[in-house]
Structure 1
Amino acid sequence: MAQQRGPGGPGQNRGGFQKPKNLRKTVSRLMSYLTRRKWPLLIVLLCLLGAVVTNIAGSSFINLVIINNIAAGSYTGVSGLAADVGKLISIYAVGWVATYGQSAIMVQLAQRGTNRLRKDLFDHLQTLPLSYFDRHPHGELMSRFTNDADNVQLALEQSVVSLLSSVLMFVGIVVVMLVVSPLLFLVSVVTLGSTFVVFKVFGGRSRRYYQKQQADLGAVNGNIQETIEGLKVVKAFTHEEQAKTLFARLNENYRASATAANFYSTAIMPIAMNIMNIGYALTAAFGGVLSIAMGLPLGSFTLYLNYCRQVGQPMNQISQQLTTILSALAGAERIFECMDETPETDEGFVTLVPVVRDSEGRMTPAPQGAHVHDWAWKVPENPRFVLVCASKDAHDELVECGEDVPGHLWAWKYVNKDDPAFGLHRIRGDVQREEGYVLAQLTGAVRFQHVDFSYVPGKQILHDVTVFANPGQKIAFVGSTGAGKTTITNLVNRFYEIQDGVITYGGIDVKAIQKDDLRRSLGVVLQDTHLFTGTVMENIRYGRLEATDEECVEAARIAGADSFIRRLPQGYDTMVTGDGANLSQGQRQLLGISRAAVADPPVMILDEATSSIDTRTERIIQNGMDALMEGRTVFVIAHRLSTVRNSNAIMVLEGGRIIERGDHEELIGQKGRYYQLYTGGAELE
């Protein structure tokens, strides 16, 4: 079985180490999510300094009490000792308050910063073109929100503070050791250098094996996810033993890499501590010689030994936290890479407005929030195309004319366009001139003229496709898998951009229409209906969020979904979870059709919408679709040819080209490709 990226997959890096490519830029950008409010960070820094100073001061004060007071017999009574104990408690109390303060504030800053980071990432993903999601696995993108963001949050909450605290502690201890005895520090330099080499060598190997461990863990998780999802297939072909063998091999690889990673990781501290103990012994011996030969004070000697034992702890913490922080920064860099992707461009200036008619039939913008059945394109004055009068010549072609010509038509004339695909584009609906703009009634006339398209440069999918769809017409696309049927419908709503030709909607180049307005005017029913967690009513209302319950019920009734919905445990209030796992495929498609119906668009795109519905339900839907089609343009991608018999035009595609076109009777009479498909002489798949 092929391995898949699953939870904990290779894209994740929980225990491993991965250095970011541009450390300085990533740190600067990530810090911007923490520094929007400066004073909390200042308080954190002051608390860090306070915690370090009180820690070092506490150790020094203990040494002072024991050596200079208790051992020297300076106390004359219990009161003196009690006073010093009170001072020591006060020092550590200040340290505790400082530690608590910096932890509490950093948790707040980290949570807010990561929250903003996730929000910015999610918001930016909404602006990216579909081609970006075609190139990136969804699981990989999900890991940005989960694993990468969690690593960033954990590092900001704990690791950054711990690293700064450890660095300050290490610097403070080294400064005190130098002040107490520069000669003894020469011995400590050798010990610290040896310990640093251990951290570097063993830590580097541990990080490499942690990377392999995460890759092997991803393979294990991916295999588990793939096997469980395809368990019916495994059992159907009696491949249980092969599945066990594959999992055992992947699991053994994970065990081996995890063992090596944890061996080097756990070996660091015992080796480092032994080196520190050896250094401690050498320091004690050398300090004894200095005390005898040079009169090193006993208090200074014991204080130095105390710090000599403590200096290894911040070194270990620095090594551990640096690994965690660099791993988190690598995750942050992956998040920022997503956020730096170029958003979907939208140069449209034509907008969609709901309109109502006055007593004279003139269009006026409808009140905000009102649900109307009449829409218009609002086209401001622009240098790309202008409104002109037109009439038909002897060859039934549009030609420009004056407004005094009786029965003239309205058309859009494209300026400075030499491409023959751009000419006069008739407007099939009411036209109303206003000051600075034109209102053109939205009727659903769609034109493809000499369209070429490719998803990837050099691999052309559509070749010189020309399709005309007038308002109220049903246009069907049939053909074998990969012929380009779905691609054509994806181009209407500009999910992808064409390379050549033009697509017009109401005579307007779709590139001139704002994408949100363009897509708002289209109703789409996909072959695989995606349902969201919520009630049945909420899923239907997703087509138009301001729709009332009554409108949603009416849409379900049109689509033929009302009867099965009312038989659900809670009817329209039944919860849908797991992408509709508690519904059949046919029921999910009926809800998808209901969602499109409540949107009440002038153009419907049905991508094999009835492919998973039984013939009885299909007849119910066909009756509802006939009512839904009235006055609308409908594009249908058909799996069952019986559903396209009543289409105004049927386009037969092969290899991205339209090889036949006509209605059902015409194509049957031609006895070509469609005839073969319809009579069973050829297969769609």
Structure 2
Amino acid sequence: MTNIQLIKSVIPYFKKYKNILFLDLLCAALTTASEMILPLILRHITNLGIVDRTSLTLELITRLSILFVVIKIIELVAVYYMASIGHIMGAKIETDMRRDVYTHLQTLSDNFYNETKVGQIMSRMTNDLFDITEFSHHCPEEYFIGAIKLIVSFIILVNINVELTVAIFIMIPIMFISSSKFRNKMRKAAKKQRAHVGDLNSSIEDSLLGVRVVKSFANEDIELEKFQKDNNKFLSIKKVFYKSMAGFSTVNRAIDGIMYLIVIVFGGLLIVKNKLEPGDMVAYVMYVTALLATVKRIIEFTEQFQKGMTGIERFNEIISIKPEITDKENAIELKDVKGEIEFRNVSFRYKEGLEKVLDDFNLSIKKGQNIALVGPSGSGKTTVCALIPRFYDVSEGGIYLDGTDIRDFSLKSLRNNIGIVQQDVYLFSGTIRENIGYGKPEAGEEEIIEAAKLAGAYDFIMELDNGFDTYVGERGVKLSGGQKQRISIARVFLKNPPILILDEATSALDNNSEAIVQSSLEMLSKGRTTITIAHRLTTIQNADMIIVMTQDGIVERGNHQELMERRNYYYDLYTKAGNNTIFSE
């Protein structure tokens, strides 16, 4: 996208704060006017002093001094507003953009998160938007001030001397044209820098989250070497940026010198020929100094401008990603769920061009039925469970809930009626109460306690120093696997959904923890349509129906006793595995 396109994309965010922006630009105009009046005052005093000193009275000097003081007071008030409220406006725009990115991220499918590093997402939501705060405030302000100074200076100076004014102003477009090459290099380098910050964040996050594994293998040196490689790459990108910036500044300083040289040479010759008064020369020097100061500020702002434009570009890249899973127009709210689920000729592939994970898959689950899915890795068990809450959409066929295609329901109402307990439990950084309450944000204290009791978590929670107010740490690191799993079950008890998906909920636990959690899961599944992905025999023996899946689809179905009596695929695997794991992933 071009700079103009990028700026157009953020204009809607400015509209919300147009009144603040208007006052900010008004203050910018007042500060600029203050700067432009001083050279005129000095020009007037200088010319009077040279031509007729008697006309330079104390009364005149006093009036000019009072005028200057009044103007300066107005300038100080305006500067304060620009520095405070103007920056706050930028921060508000940043906050709005971050909210929109976060809201948009919530709509993106699992495919996006499978292919995008968390560090990259974090970089776009933090570093990129930090730069937009400065950009949002300074961009309109700096260019507005620059435009006023150029126009007003030109009008004033051309009335003093046309030839000298034209000679000076010809140099300004030359300055911008000659520096454009370096400016483009700075933008490219800034974008690479932003992208690599995301990679660097991902690398650091990955290493720190796996710090126990690193220490257990004594591989600190390897991690340091990997980090240093990424860190040095980041340095090399910054070198390119700063070299471009150095060339940019050097070119502009050279043109500065040329502009002053024009004033000295041409101005001196005009004074000799009596075509320019000494006071006019003073005014020229002051206006050229003011113009150069403005151009330098714009040049210095160019670094911030390029970072801001890069941030806006990366913001647009992520906000333009369209969610793959969306509500249909006029989607209906799912209510009074019975829990009858049917897969009709379902085929699914994760991406166009990849092999199908499911092909013409058919399965009917009755209300309140407990179904177990077993099979080797790659057979599609997890995919079946991910399709029901529409984490992905089917490629062909349809999934029906109580006779209605799940794509006809709103996503929120569909997922509100499905509870999921996974092997890899995710607890948020907070208290046990907050984590259980996540299942029903409006739940009261009694409901949370009852959910903990039903999940078999109440006793161990009360043994902790702070009970339900115990801080669980990042991802629940302060709790054991069994404790985390019981809290996640309590969360689902609180949600009280009619449909339950158990995704290998006990496979990572020791035997003692598994027995406790399994008891909680059995209580949780009562009266609900339950789909269990299981590896251990203990979790599927009591299932109403066991579905045996391979890469060829469903190869057997029936309860444990029926499958054993048939002496086919399930029987062979059971007799080989004994009472331990049936299928290893």
Length-normalised TM-score, structure 2 = 0.88
Correspondence list, 1:31-42, <5 A: 31-36=11-16, 38-42=18-22
* Counterpart position of 2:434: 538
Shift of 1:665: 2.5
1:305 maps to what in 2? 285
**What code does the residue aligned with 2:560 have?**
H
| Contact 1:167–1:314 (CA under 8 A) maintained in structure 2 | no
Structure 1 228/475 Cα, relative in aligned 2: closer, same or farther at 3 Å?
same
| CA distance, structure 1, for counterparts of residue 314 and residue 192 of structure 2 | 19
1:93 lines up with 2:79 in the alignment: no
Partner SS state of residue 455, structure 1 = coil
CA distance in 1, matches of 2:55, 2:523: 102
Residue aligning to 1:586:
482
Taking a change above 3 Å as real, the CA distance of residues 217 and 445 of structure 1, as seen in their structure-2 partners, is closer
For the residue of structure 1 that corresponds to 2:390, the secondary structure is coil
Distance 1:187 1:628, change over 3 A: closer
Q: What is the letter of the counterpart of residue 464 of structure 2?
A: L
Deviation at 1:481, TM superposition (A): 1.9
Correspondence for 1:612 among 508, 517, 521: 508
Give the aligned residue type for 1:582.
Answer: K
- Deviations 1:313-347 (CA, angstroms, capped at 9, x unpaired): 22222234345335424433443454444451235
Q: CA deviation at 1:608?
A: 0.9
Verify the 8 A CA contact 1:144 1:334 in the aligned structure 2. yes
CA displacement at 1:580 relative to structure 2: 1.5
Match of 1:445 in 2: 340
Q: Which residue of 2 aligns with 1:684?
A: 584
Counterpart in 2 of 1:466? Answer: 362
- Pairing 1:388-399 to 2, within 5 Å after superposition: none
Name the counterpart of 1:346. Answer: 328
More helix by share: 2
- Cα distance in 2, alignment partners of residues 148 and 632 from structure 1: 46
| 1:364-391 Cα shifts (integer Å, max 9, x gaps) | xxxxxxxxxxxx2xxxxxxxxxxxxxxx
Instruction: Give the CA deviation at 1:57.
Output: 0.8
Q: Is the 8 A contact 1:348 1:511 kept in 2?
A: no
Distance 2:476 2:110 in 1: 24
Contact 1:40 1:105 survives alignment (8 Å):
yes
**Partners of 2:422 and 2:54 in 1: how far apart?**
89
**8 Å CA contact 2:372, 2:545 repeated in 1:** yes
Do the aligned residues in 2 keep the contact of 1:527 with 1:607 (CA within 8 Å)? yes
Post-superposition offset of 1:296: 1.8
Taking a change above 3 Å as real, the CA distance of residues 72 and 258 of structure 1, as seen in their structure-2 partners, is: farther
Aligned to 2:469: 573
Distance in structure 2 (CA, Å) of the matches to 1:284 and 1:674:
97
Which residue is 1:497 aligned to?
393
Shift of 1:22: 4.9
Given that 1:652 and 1:660 are in contact with CA atoms closer than 8 Å, whether structure 2 keeps it comes out as: yes
Q: Kindly provide the amino acid, as one letter, of the partner of residue 14 in structure 2.
A: L
What does residue 284 of structure 1 align with? 264
Q: In structure 1, how many angstroms separate the alpha carbons of the residues matched to 2:495 and 2:210?
A: 36
Secondary structure in 1 aligned to 2:450? helix
Structure 1, residues 441-476: CA drift from partner, whole Å, max 9, x if none?
A: x43222223322222234311122222322332111
SS in 1 for 2:531: strand
Q: Is the 8 A contact 1:348 1:515 kept in 2?
A: no
User: Higher mean Cα deviation, 324-333 or 210-219?
Assistant: 210-219
Alignment-derived partner of residue 365 in structure 1: none
Q: Establish whether residue 141 from structure 1 lines up as the match of residue 121 from structure 2.
A: yes
Name the SS of the counterpart of 1:43 in structure 2. helix
Deviates more, 1:535-544 or 1:134-143: 134-143
What is aligned with 1:113?
Answer: 93
CA distance in 1, matches of 2:189, 2:113: 31
Q: Secondary structure at the match of 1:493?
A: coil
Three-state SS of the structure 2 residue aligned to 1:457 is coil
Q: For residues 569-610 of structure 1, what are the alpha-carbon distances to aligned partners after superposition, in whole Å with 9 as ceiling and x for unaligned?
A: 211122334222222233221111111112222221111111
Question: How far apart are residue 193 of structure 1 and its match?
Answer: 5.4
Which residue number in structure 2 is paired with residue 174 of structure 1? 154
Which consecutive unaligned segments of at least 5 residues does structure 1 have?
A: 1-20, 354-375, 377-441
Secondary structure of the structure 2 residue equivalent to 1:33: helix
Residue equivalent to 2:23? 43
Deviations along 1:237-275, whole A, 9 cap, x unmatched? 454444444444444444444344324424544553354
1:172, distance to aligned residue in structure 2 (A): 2.6
Counterpart selection for 1:228 from 190, 208, 228: 208
What secondary structure is seen at the aligned counterpart in 1 of 2:350?
A: strand
Give the one of 462, 479, 483 matched to 2:379. Answer: 483
Instruction: State how 1:3-152 maps to structure 2 within 5 Å.
Output: 21-36=1-16, 38-69=18-49, 73-74=53-54, 80-152=60-132
SS in 1 for 2:543: coil
> For 1:655 and 1:267, how far apart are their aligned partners in 2?
61
1:69-120 CA-to-partner distances (Å, cap 9, x unmatched) read: 4895347765543443222222222222233334444334333333333333
Task: Tell me the CA shift for residue 298 of structure 1.
Answer: 1.4
- Find the partner of 1:554 among 428, 450, 456: 450
Deviation at 1:543, TM superposition (A): 1.6
For the residue of structure 2 that corresponds to 1:498, the secondary structure is coil
The amino acid of 1:301's aligned partner reads M
- Distance (whole Å) between structure 1 residues aligned to residue 563 and residue 17 of structure 2: 70
Q: Judge conservation of contact 1:451–1:465 (CA < 8 Å) in 2.
A: yes
Structure-1-length-normalised TM-score: 0.76
**Distance in structure 1 (CA, Å) of the matches to 2:141 and 2:19:** 16
Greater share of residues in strand: 1
Classify the secondary structure of the residue corresponding to 1:290.
helix
1:195–1:272 Cα contact (<8 Å) kept: yes
Structure 1 residues 641, 464: closer, same or farther in 2, change over 3 A?
farther
**Uncovered stretches (5+) of structure 2, i.e. residues with no partner:** none
Deviation at 1:488, TM superposition (A): 0.7
Q: Which amino acid aligns with 2:352?
A: P
1:626 aligns with 2:526: no
Report how many residues are paired.
Answer: 578
Separation in structure 1 between the aligned mates of residue 309 and residue 187 of structure 2, nearest angstrom: 15
Letter aligned with residue 574 of structure 1: T
